[in-house]
Amino acid sequence: MKAIQIVDLSGPETALREVDVPEPEASHALTPGSGVVVDVKAAGVSFPEVLQTRGEYQLKPPLPFVPGSEVAGTVRSAPPGSELSPGERVAAFPMLGGFAEVAVAPEFLTFPLPDELDDRQGAALILNYHTAWFSLVLRGRLEAGETVLVHGAAGGVGTASIQVAKGLGARTIGIVSSDEKERVAREAGADEVVRSDAEWREQAKELSGGGVDLVLDPVGGDRFTDSLRSLAEGGRVVVVGFTAGSIPEVKVNRLLLNNTEVIGAGWGAYAIGKPELNRETGVELAKLIASGHVRPLVGASFPLSVAGAAEALQLIDSRGARGKVVLDVG
Ligand SMILES: NC(=O)c1ccc[n+]([C@@H]2O[C@H](COP(=O)([O-])OP(=O)(O)OC[C@H]3O[C@@H](n4cnc5c(N)ncnc54)[C@H](OP(=O)(O)O)[C@@H]3O)[C@@H](O)[C@H]2O)c1
Overall average pLDDT of the 211-223 stretch: 96
The pLDDT tens digits for 89-112 are 999 999 999 999 999 999 999 999
Residue in 52, 157, 193 to alter for ligand 1 test, most ligand atoms within 8 A of Cβ: 157
To the nearest 10 degrees (0 to 180), the angle between helices 156-167 and 275-290 is: 70
Mapped onto helix, strand or coil, the DSSP state of residue 161 is helix
Give the residue from 4, 1, 2, 3 showing the smallest Cα distance to 310.
Answer: 4
pLDDT in tens, 17-29: 999 999 999 999 9
- Give 157's pLDDT tier (boundaries 50, 70, 90): very high
Torsion of CA 240, 314, 110, 128, to 10 degrees: 30
330 has pLDDT over 90: no
CB of 274 sitting under 6 A from ligand 1: no
The minimum-distance atom of ligand 1 relative to the CA of 319 is 33
Q: Whose CA is nearest to atom 29 of ligand 1?
A: 244
User: Which pLDDT band, with edges at 50, 70 and 90, does 120 fall under?
Assistant: very high
Give yes or no for residue 297 CB within 6 A of ligand 1: no
Residue 258 confidence (pLDDT): 93
Convert the pLDDT of each residue in 237-254 to its tens digit.
Answer: 999 999 998 999 999 999
CA dist list (Å): 92 to 122, 130, 174: 8, 12, 28
pLDDT-based confidence at residue 75 (cuts at 50, 70, 90): very high
Query: Average pLDDT of 8-16?
Result: 97
Indicate if ligand 1 lies below 6 Å from the C-beta of 92. no
CA distance 171 to 162: 9
Rounded to an integer, the average pLDDT of 282-290 is 98
CA distance 242 to 239: 8
Who's near 181: CB < 8 A, 6+ residues apart? 153, 154, 322
Mean pLDDT over each residue of the chain, to the nearest integer: 97
How many angstroms separate the alpha carbon of residue 245 from the centre of ligand 1? 10
Residue nearest to atom 44 of ligand 1 (CA): 241
Instruction: State the average pLDDT over residues 67-96.
Output: 97
Percent of the chain exceeding pLDDT 90 equals: 97
Mean pLDDT of 277-293: 98
Q: Which atom of ligand 1 is nearest to the CA of 240?
A: 1
For the CA of 181, the closest atom of ligand 1 is 40
Measured in Å, residue 25 CA sits from the centre of ligand 1 at 33
Tell me if 127 CB under 6 Å of ligand 1.
Answer: yes
Render pLDDT for 168-189 as a digit per residue (tens, 0 to 9). 999 999 999 999 999 999 999 9
**In this structure, which residue's CA is closest to atom 36 in ligand 1?**
152
